[in-house]
Every structure is written in structure tokens, then in C-alpha cells.
């Protein structure tokens, strides 16, 4: 056909192309190009389009027979959907490159061209199922005790990693009890218990970021219940000022005194390693500073350290072990010594080890214990003959200075811990070492040869991932020596039961994610899409305490790794803000109240986290600081801005540059225009979203109910709201005692949505749309209104039943066996149900529309498995609105994994698309996975 058209065009008389009286004999002429559905609005030149969009071309010399016509966009042929004498509708093909594209029409009478008529912005929808998984776990590379310890070992600990929170971990029961917001991603952190005058206890965390920023944060416990988490306080650190991109360290002694180690610019050149006791009094007034005369230069970098006895630390530096007594901070560190057999001259640790390992030792790491009158030191090091592990008894008396040594079992022992046998009242000691993914136990063997009398007699694989455990903060022994907390090379946190090495498994699984929103962020002058995955409440026993990763912010372009944001628990939306000070992400949520005990908050603990480009090697994004929001909303949302903002009378896709910001609290929705004033107020140094005392909204929309979520329509003309069905939930809550009445987050996760949608708009009362079942997912359709998924009310194993027997909405569409079907409906913005587009299995779940409007993606559950379905949406060529007289055909279905064990009816994964449609992000909470489709 194309060859015939080209030949006819070449043979056509030139005079015919100028005969305006005979349009059917004229060469085609392009007069206007517009998006279908926006033909009544002036169109920009070039017109921005996505692959798969419907474009209307108006002109002259157009044949009414589509077979007599070819349309080329750029270098590709476009599908002709509809043809008439004055108007064509074509589907934009996927092009090889983003940028300007010509439009060319070819008919038997010639051709017409409009140069640079379109600006191709992307494919509009992912092509195929080319998938990849994102890491969803928060890397936990550091674990530290909460001082002072009980029985020589702590009962609780903190764990930190890539999240901007410290996890408070209870190793004995294998869970994380709370997240303590820090406002920075710590390079090091230390924790201690501080008793309050009212009888409560504060878990105080001192955290240091790479390069030196310092904060102090606190969680308050009363009668074993977390009652408050204070705002992180930033501390000045002018006299403890590490070099850029270095990793400063902080710890507490066994009597809870702070100690710092850092590298600073030296004189005249180079860097100097320092150690100092920190003035505890100055911490209270906001300064992180050495005690008087308490800063001391160290001859070499500190490779490992540990609390020692009551108020000192021991550390490895420059081929020797040193001790620094914090109770006399002005006295410099001295080499740690012992009397061999309790007599003779004091000998350094390196001297004690030299008969077996030679001189010039390189220490990798160490652990120390002072328990029940015993002082023990465990070290791993490189020496003559290879990698060694040693147990040194420093207890005064006849055994002082005795050494047990052995080769490190063929592994690089980068983490060590001491284990008492038996716990609490030890008669002997074992050494645990970890490295390259394996954990080994070393025990003294009295009958073994000298220099080989510390023998590995058990092993446990921590991880199948290659890598080396961190040397400082990789492992600690807890709970009287009955538990070991260890990080793994893939940066999980596990609990191990020494001395048997029986694994108790992960302390917590980080993390499970539910809904997803897509924001367009500006970071370092580069505009890039950012996916924000909300944390899911799945009802899983682990997930209930999985509090270390409220949100996962994922840069969808470049080499940026996912950034986990902790401390706000189960999130309810996110908004990207760009105040003059830089990019920031606002989000809401808090910890759920698990029955009667934990925090009883309504979920309004909003926060703003600031972002900046990374400045250090390997640092793609830097979390510049996290600030709680006063007057915080229950959930936040943002308008569709450019991508997908279509509708017959809504905002055009090419405007505005930034969409409004929405914040729901109680039964109303505050609307903020994204101007400099609002952005500075909403994300400033002390953000206050209170409508009366903080940032006054530009408009307010009455919702009539407290929403589970709000879904903005194309062009933000209206809002669709789901609410909880508390009547249906009352019996379940009374029977299982699941939630407190004031715990809105727990109620959201436990109670089903009502069988309705509420449609609200400014200046009007909300309209109620009765639905035949509970809405599982709601998404704005670019042609106006919303796509809604619902579970079929009745199905039979024999098949043949209507989806909703009591409703005519889906008449004629039959259900399949097993009761696993769902329906896809279109609800118009005037409150009418536009029609039933599909009834298929696994269709009751979160739904999203591709940016080009061609497909609906649904992630739903069937037979305990989560599936992803892609459905082709039937659209009218006249105005781009969904054609409910035609059915949405399923293009593909894929099993993603096990469905989450949810308290509520619909806790499936979320779906979102990058604005150009090239990538989709889908969460799989039941599998702790996030999948990218490109």
C-alpha cells in the first residue's frame, strides 16, 4: 500500500494540488494539530505529545477513506483511527528520541508536511514486561548498644543505615520497637538511657552524619510504652569539625559518657585523627564540643573501639591498642597494657601477641567486656602467618595477660563480639567473628598447640551476598550474652542465639510498601521523576513493628539509589516542595497503635525532609534535614501538573508548570498554590500547616467525611474521596480488640471502605455516588472522571453469575469461578456511573492510567497471589472520553507473588508512572518487593 501511494503521489499532476475547488484532488494540507479532547483550546506549537496519544489533525485535501492515507510522525508511521474530509485522528507512534518531530500526510494526490509540529515527550506507557527489582530493605550497617548496659551487656540497641531514623531494637524478642527520627542519615550513632523526673525514661540518640552534622534525638517511654518522640535537635560542632566526606564516630562509655573520634584538617597539611570526651553539659545547650583540655591527637586512624570498664574506651590505632579514660579527659590516651601472669613489667597488647603473630600488626576490629569482675578483649588482626583472632584476658590476677589465638578460619574477620559461657555468670568466654557473609564461633582449646588454641568450632552463614561486614558497629552481644545482633553483607539485621548459633532470623523485615505516588523533583538543577512508595500496614506480625522505612523515595533516572525516610511510620501521601532553600518532601503518618499500648495518635505526624545533591564520593542524594510539621494534616496530595492533566474542560497538559498542593485534615481539604510564599511557609525552617496559625490555604474544599484517601480528577476539577465503613467494622473491632477508637491509622488499615465515592469540588456540597461494592482502587482518567475497581459481590464456582446481581451496572458481563473477579467502572465527575468496562479475575485492587491514557494497570489479588493486569482502554475518537459501550480488553497478566496478609480488604501494591510513561513502578507488599517496568 505504501509503495502504491508513493507511486500515485509521484504521478499526480501538479495542477491538481492547487485546485482548491476540488479538495478530493488536492494535495493534503495541515492547518492545525491538537490533542483529542482539547480541540476547543488554543494549541501550542510544537504540540507536546506522548506515544499512544490520540491527535486530531485538521486541514484540507484529506480523503474520507483511511485506506487512501498515510500519516508519518517523525520517522514512524502513525495509525489512522478516524478519517473525514476535514479531520483525522491518529495515534502517535513510539519514536526513537525525545524532541521535535515533523508530521507528514500522504495521499494519492501528494503530500503535506508541518515541520516540528510535535514535541515528542516519551513513550506514554512502558513497552512489554522488561522488569527489574528495587531493593526495598533499609540497609542496616551499624548497630550499637543503649548504654548503660544491664549485667555488662545492653538489653536494647539501636540500628542505623540508609534511613534518617534510628531503630530501637529489642533483640530478646527479635523486633524493632520504635523508630527515632534523626533528620539525617547517620555515619555513626550512640544511645543511652536517661531517667526523667516524672519516672519516664528517655532513649537518647546522638547521631553524626558523614562530614560532621550532629543531632540529638529522643524517644520517651513510660511503663514500657512509647509515649513521645521528641524533635531532633541540631547541635553546633565548631570545635569538632571533621573533614568533608569523612566518617566521624561517637560512642558512650559504660557509664553513659559521650566520646567522639574524627579526622580534621592538620597543620600544615594533611589530616589528623582526634579523640575527645564530649562535654555532656554543653550537649544540653546545643553544642557538641570536647571537655576542657579533652581533645587529643592520635597517631593513626582509629579502626575500631569499644567501651571499657566503667568510664573509658579502648581503641585500635597505628598497630596498637589504646585506652582513653573519659573520667580524666585531659589525660591523653595511653597504650593498653597488662602484667603477664600478674607479675613483671606491663606489656602492650601487641607485645602479648607478638610471639605468635610477629611485629607490625594491623588491627581490623575489637570487642571488649567488663562483666562480673572480669575484663576481656577480643581482637582480629593481620600478622605473620595470615589473619588472626585472639582472646586476651586482662582481669587482674594470675590469669592476667594470658592470650588464646587462632587463625581466622579462612575469612576476613571484620566484626567481633564476646560471648560469656554461661550467660550472666561466665566461667569462660567465646569469640564470635563475622566477615564475607559467615559467622564463626571460636573457643579456647587448652590441649591445642600454642598459637592455635583458639579454635573455630561452629559456623553460620549470615548471607549469600558477597561483601564485607563493617569493622565498627557490625555486631554486639546483648541481653546478658544470650543474643547477638549482627549486620549482614546485604545489610540486613539478624538476631543469633549464642553459643548454639541457632539463628532467630531477621529482627525485622524492611520493608513492605503499599501505595505509590510520582512527583517531579528538581535536584541540583536537574528535573527528574521521583517515586514515593508509602509504607503498607499489612497486619503481618513483622510488618506491625517494621517502622524503619516510612517512605522510600526513588529517583527514577540517573544512578541514584533508593532513599529510605524513617520515623513517620505508615505514610499517607507525599508532596514534593521546591522552596527557595531547595527541594523537600512533605509526608504524613505515624506508628499504628497495636491494641492498647502504643502511641494513640490520629496519624497527623507530618514531616518535611529536605534533599540536596550528594557532595561526597558515592553519595547520590543527601538528606539535608528532617523537620516535623506543626498542625500536620492526615494526608497530603499534589495535583497532576503537566503529566496526564487532561480533561474536556480541565487543565491542559502543557500548563501549569506546578500544580496545587492539597492537605486533608478532618473533613476538609486545604489547597495551596505553589508560589514562593506558600512553599517557604510549608517547608521553611519551622513549617506549620495549621490553617489558622500557620500557612493559610488559598482555598478550602469541604469533603463531608474524614477520607481514607483523595484522588484528584484530571485538571484538578474535582476530588473523589473514599471513607471508612465504621458500621461494618464495629463488630470486627469489638471482637478482636484491634484498634483504639482514636487511632485513625489503625482504623484505616483494619476497616473496609464504604460502598460509595464522595465527589467534592470548591464551592459545592459533596455529592455521594452509591457503588454496588466497596471501591478497592480509584484513579483519575485523563478524559475526565475516575476509574474505579470493585470486587464482584457474588460469584459461583459454576460460573455464569452477574458481577453485581443487585445492580444493573455490569449486566451482561459474567463472572468466573472462585469468587476472584473484580469490575472496572468509570465514574463521571457529575456523579453518574459511566459504565462497566471489564469484569475479570484479579481486578479488585489499586489502579493507575498510563500517561498516554491508552491503558489501565491494576494490581489485584486472586487465589492468594497478587497479579498485575494491563487493560486497553476504549476511547472515543471524537473527544477522547472512555467509550463504555465497548469493553476494556486485557492485554497481559503477570503473577507478582504472594498477596499480603492484610487486616483490611485491600492492602495490595501501588502503581505509578513516570510522567513520560517510560517506566512504571509497582509495589508487591506480600513479597517485600518493588518492581520497575520499562
Does the structure show a pLDDT above 70 at 28?
yes
Does the structure show a pLDDT above 80 at 774?
yes
Does the structure show a pLDDT above 70 at 566?
no
Q: What per-residue confidence (pLDDT) applies to 6?
A: 35
Alpha-carbon separation of residue 363 from 213, 418, 640, 653 (angstroms)? 28, 17, 56, 61
Measured between alpha carbons, how far is 152 from 632 in angstroms, rounded to an integer?
A: 42
Does the structure show a pLDDT above 70 at 485?
yes
Measured between alpha carbons, how far is 363 from 72 in angstroms, rounded to an integer?
A: 69
For residues 406-427, give the mean pLDDT.
89
Alpha-carbon separation of residue 102 from 60, 72, 160 (angstroms)? 18, 8, 54
Q: What per-residue confidence (pLDDT) applies to 256?
A: 95
User: Tens digits of per-residue pLDDT, 202-253?
Assistant: 999 999 998 889 999 998 887 777 777 777 899 999 999 999 999 999 999 9
Residue pair 644/122 in contact by the 8 Å Cβ criterion: no
C-alpha cell at 339: 602484667
Q: What per-residue confidence (pLDDT) applies to 651?
A: 45
Measured between alpha carbons, how far is 161 from 143 in angstroms, rounded to an integer?
A: 9
Query: Would you place residue 541 in the very low, low, confident or very high pLDDT band (cuts 50, 70, 90)?
Result: very low
Q: pTM for the whole thing?
A: 0.85
For residues 99-104, give the mean pLDDT.
95
Least confident of 250-264, 573-587, 639-653, 889-903: 639-653
Residue with cell 509515649: 227
User: Tens digits of per-residue pLDDT, 669-717?
Assistant: 999 988 889 999 999 888 999 988 999 999 899 999 989 889 988 878 8
User: Tens digits of per-residue pLDDT, 127-164?
Assistant: 866 788 887 767 788 999 999 988 889 999 999 987 78
Does the structure show a pLDDT above 80 at 471?
no
Q: What per-residue confidence (pLDDT) applies to 536?
A: 67
DSSP annotation of 6: H
Does the structure show a pLDDT above 90 at 291?
yes
For residues 805-831, give the mean pLDDT.
87
Does the structure show a pLDDT above 90 at 655?
no
Query: What is the Cα 871 distance to its own chain's centre?
Result: 28
Q: What per-residue confidence (pLDDT) applies to 732?
A: 64
- DSSP output for 323-388: EEETTSTTSPPEE-EEEGGG-SSEEEHHHHHHHHH-SS-EEEEEEEEEETTEEEEEEEEEETTEEE
Residue pair 122/96 in contact by the 8 Å Cβ criterion: no
User: Tens digits of per-residue pLDDT, 581-618?
Assistant: 788 888 887 655 444 344 444 445 688 888 888 888 87
User: Tens digits of per-residue pLDDT, 872-899?
Assistant: 999 999 988 999 889 999 999 999 988 8
Beta strands 110-120 and 47-49, pairing class: parallel
Percent of the chain scored above 90 by pLDDT? 45
Q: Which residue has the higher pLDDT, 38 or 304?
A: 304
User: Tens digits of per-residue pLDDT, 315-346?
Assistant: 999 999 999 999 999 999 999 999 998 888 99
Q: What per-residue confidence (pLDDT) applies to 569?
A: 57
Least confident of 120-134, 182-196, 643-657: 643-657
List residues bridging with 862 in a β-sheet: 865
Q: What per-residue confidence (pLDDT) applies to 762?
A: 84
Beta carbons within 10 angstroms of residue 795's beta carbon = 22
Q: What per-residue confidence (pLDDT) applies to 644?
A: 41
Least confident of 432-441, 629-638, 735-744: 735-744
Q: How much is the mean pLDDT over the chain?
A: 84
Q: How many residues are there in the chain? A: 934
Q: What per-residue confidence (pLDDT) applies to 10?
A: 34
Q: What per-residue confidence (pLDDT) applies to 15?
A: 34
Residue 469 makes CB contacts below 8 A (sequence gap 6+) with: 414, 415, 434, 435, 462, 475, 486, 487, 488, 489
For residues 95-108, give the mean pLDDT.
93
DSSP annotation of 64: S
Least confident of 27-31, 640-644, 724-728, 751-755: 640-644
C-alpha cell at 464: 549469600
Q: Which residue has the higher pLDDT, 342 or 70?
A: 70
Query: Would you place residue 543 in the very low, low, confident or very high pLDDT band (cuts 50, 70, 90)?
Result: very low
Q: What per-residue confidence (pLDDT) applies to 5?
A: 32
Q: What per-residue confidence (pLDDT) applies to 593?
A: 47
Does the structure show a pLDDT above 70 at 733?
no
Residue with cell 453485581: 804
For residues 560-584, give the mean pLDDT.
74
Residue 46: cis peptide before it, omega within 30 degrees of 0:
yes
Residue pair 613/523 in contact by the 8 Å Cβ criterion: yes
Q: Give residue 147's region: left, alpha or beta (phi > 0; psi -120 to 50).
A: beta
**φ, ψ at 109 (rounded to 5°):** -100, 0
Residue pair 159/474 in contact by the 8 Å Cβ criterion: no
For residues 535-562, give the mean pLDDT.
59
Beta strands 258-265 and 249-252, pairing class: antiparallel
With H, G, I as helix, E, B as strand and everything else as coil, classify residue 865. strand
Percent of the chain scored above 70 by pLDDT? 85
Does the structure show a pLDDT above 80 at 540?
no
Q: What per-residue confidence (pLDDT) applies to 684?
A: 86
Does the structure show a pLDDT above 80 at 747?
no
For residues 793-813, give the mean pLDDT.
75
Amino acid at each position: 500500500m505504501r509503495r502504491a501511494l508513493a507511486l500515485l503521489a509521484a504521478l499526480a499532476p501538479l495542477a491538481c494540488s492547487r485546485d482548491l475547488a476540488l479538495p478530493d484532488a488536492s494535495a493534503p494540507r495541515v492547518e492545525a494539530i491538537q490533542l483529542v479532547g482539547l480541540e476547543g483550546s488554543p494549541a501550542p506549537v510544537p504540540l507536546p505529545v506522548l506515544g499512544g496519544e490520540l491527535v486530531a489533525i485538521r486541514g484540507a485535501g484529506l480523503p474520507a477513506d483511511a485506506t487512501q492515507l498515510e500519516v508519518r510522525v517523525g520517522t514512524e508511521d502513525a495509525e489512522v483511527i478516524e478519517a473525514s474530509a476535514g479531520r483525522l485522528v491518529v495515534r502517535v507512534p513510539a519514536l526513537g528520541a525525545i524532541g521535535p518531530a515533523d508530521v507528514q500526510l500522504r495521499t494519492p494526490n501528494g503530500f503535506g508536511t508541518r515541520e516540528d509540529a510535535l514535541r515528542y515527550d516519551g513513550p506514554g506507557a512502558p513497552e512489554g514486561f522488561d522488569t527489574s527489582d528495587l531493593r526495598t530493605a533499609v540497609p542496616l550497617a551499624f548497630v550499637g548498644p543503649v548504654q548503660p548496659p544491664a549485667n555488662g551487656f545492653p538489653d536494647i540497641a539501636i540500628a542505623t543505615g540508609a534511613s534518617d531514623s534510628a531503630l530501637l531494637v529489642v533483640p530478646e524478642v527479635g523486633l524493632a520497637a520504635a523508630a527515632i527520627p534523626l533528620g539525617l542519615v547517620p555515619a555513626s550513632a550512640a544511645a543511652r538511657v536517661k531517667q526523667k523526673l516524672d519516672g519516664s525514661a528517655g532513649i537518647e540518640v546522638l547521631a553524626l552524619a558523614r562530614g560532621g552534622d550532629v543531632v540529638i534525638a529522643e524517644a520517651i517511654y513510660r511503663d514500657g510504652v512509647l509515649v513521645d518522640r521528641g524533635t531532633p535537635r541540631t547541635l553546633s560542632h565548631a570545635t569538632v569539625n571533621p573533614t568533608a566526606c569523612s566518617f566521624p564516630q561517637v560512642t558512650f562509655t559504660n557509664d553513659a559518657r559521650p566520646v567522639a573520634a574524627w579526622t580534621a584538617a592538620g597543620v600544615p597539611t594533611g589530616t589528623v585523627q582526634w579523640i575527645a570526651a564530649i562535654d555532656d553539659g554543653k550537649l544540653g545547650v546545643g553544642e557538641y564540643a570536647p571537655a576542657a583540655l579533652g581533645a587529643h591527637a592520635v597517631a593513626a586512624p582509629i579502626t575500631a573501639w569499644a567501651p571499657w570498664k566503667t568510664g573509658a574506651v579502648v581503641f585500635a590505632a597505628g598497630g596498637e591498642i589504646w585506652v582513653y579514660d573519659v573520667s580524666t579527659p585531659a589525660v591523653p590516651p595511653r597504650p593498653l597494657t597488662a602484667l603477664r601472669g600478674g607479675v613483671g613489667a606491663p606489656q602492650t597488647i601487641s607485645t602479648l601477641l607478638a610471639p605468635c603473630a610477629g611485629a607490625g600488626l594491623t588491627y581490623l576490629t575489637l570487642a571488649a567486656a567488663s562483666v562480673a569482675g572480669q575484663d576481656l578483649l577480643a581482637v582480629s588482626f593481620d600478622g605473620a602467618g595470615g589473619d588472626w583472632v585472639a582472646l586476651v584476658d586482662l582481669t587482674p590476677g594470675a590469669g592476667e595477660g594470658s592470650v588464646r589465638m587462632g587463625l581466622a578460619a579462612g575469612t576476613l574477620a571484620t566484626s567481633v563480639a564476646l560471648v560469656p559461657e554461661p550467660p550472666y555468670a561466665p566461667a569462660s568466654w567465646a569469640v564470635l567473628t563475622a566477615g564475607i557473609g559467615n559467622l564463626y564461633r571460636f573457643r579456647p582449646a587448652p590441649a591445642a598447640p600454642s598459637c592455635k588454641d583458639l579454635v573455630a568450632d561452629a559456623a553460620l552463614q549470615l548471607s549469600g551476598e558477597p561483601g564485607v561486614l563493617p569493622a565498627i558497629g557490625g555486631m554486639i552481644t546483648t541481653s546478658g550474652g544470650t543474643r547477638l545482633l549482627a549486620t549482614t553483607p546485604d545489610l540486613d539485621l539478624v538476631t543469633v542465639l549464642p553459643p548454639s548459633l541457632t539463628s532467630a532470623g531477621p529482627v525485622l523485615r524492611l520493608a513492605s510498601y503499599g501505595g505509590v505516588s510520582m512527583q517531579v523533583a528538581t535536584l541540583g538543577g536537574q528535573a527528574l521523576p521521583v517515586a514515593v512508595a508509602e509504607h503498607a500496614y499489612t497486619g503481618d506480625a513483622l510488618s506491625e513493628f517494621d517502622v524503619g522505612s516510612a517512605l522510600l523515595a526513588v529517583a527514577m533516572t540517573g544512578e541514584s539509589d533508593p532513599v529510605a525516610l524513617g520515623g513517620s511510620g505508615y505514610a499517607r501521601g507525599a508532596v514534593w516542595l521546591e522552596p527557595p532553600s531547595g527541594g523537600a518532601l512533605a509526608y504524613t503518618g505515624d506508628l499504628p497503635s497495636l491494641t492498647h499500648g502504643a502511641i494513640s495518635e490520629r496519624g497527623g505526624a507530618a514531616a518535611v525532609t529536605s534533599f540536596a545533591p550528594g557532595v561526597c564520593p558515592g553519595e547520590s542524594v543527601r538528606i539535608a534535614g528532617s523537620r516535623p510539621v506543626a498542625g500536620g494534616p492526615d494526608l497530603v496530595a499534589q495535583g497532576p501538573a503537566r503529566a496526564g492533566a487532561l480533561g474536556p474542560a480541565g487543565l491542559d497538559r502543557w500548563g501549569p508548570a506546578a500544580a496545587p498542593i492539597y492537605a486533608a485534615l478532618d473533613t476538609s481539604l486545604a489547597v495551596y498554590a505553589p508560589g514562593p510564599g506558600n512553599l517557604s511557609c510549608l517547608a521553611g525552617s519551622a513549617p506549620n500547616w495549621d490553617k489558622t496559625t500557620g500557612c493559610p490555604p488559598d482555598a478550602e474544599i469541604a469533603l463531608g467525611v474524614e477520607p481514607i484517601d483523595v484522588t484528584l480528577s484530571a485538571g484538578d476539577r474535582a476530588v473523589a474521596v473514599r471513607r471508612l465503613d465504621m458500621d461494618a467494622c464495629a463488630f470486627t473491632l469489638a471482637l478482636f480488640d484491634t484498634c483504639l477508637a482514636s487511632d485513625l491509622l489503625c482504623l484505616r488499615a483494619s476497616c473496609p471502605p464504604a460502598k460509595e465515592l464522595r465527589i467534592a469540588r470548591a464551592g459545592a456540597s459533596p455529592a455521594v455516588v452509591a457503588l454496588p461494592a466497596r471501591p478497592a482502587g480509584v484513579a483519575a482518567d485523563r478524559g475526565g472522571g475516575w476509574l474505579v475497581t470493585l470486587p464482584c459481590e457474588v460469584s459461583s464456582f459454576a460460573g455464569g453469575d452477574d458481577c453485581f446481581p443487585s445492580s444493573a451496572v455490569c449486566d451482561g458481563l459474567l463472572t468466573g469461578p472462585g469468587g476472584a473477579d473484580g469490575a472496572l467502572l468509570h465514574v463521571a465527575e457529575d456523579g453518574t456511573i459511566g459504565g462497566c468496562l471489564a469484569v475479570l479475575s484479579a481486578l479488585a485492587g489499586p489502579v493507575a492510567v498510563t500517561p498516554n491514557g491508552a491503558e489501565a494497570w491494576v494490581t489485584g489479588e486472586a487465589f492468594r497471589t497478587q497479579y498485575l493486569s494491563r487493560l486497553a482502554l476504549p476511547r472515543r475518537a471524537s473527544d477522547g472520553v472512555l467509550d463504555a459501550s465497548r469493553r476494556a480488553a486485557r492485554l497481559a497478566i503477570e503473577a507478582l507473588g504472594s498477596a499480603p496478609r492484610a487486616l483490611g480488604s485491600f492492602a495490595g501494591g501501588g502503581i505509578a508512572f513516570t510522567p513520560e510513561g517510560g517506566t512504571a513502578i509497582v509495589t508487591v507488599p506480600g513479597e517485600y518487593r518493588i518492581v520497575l517496568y520499562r
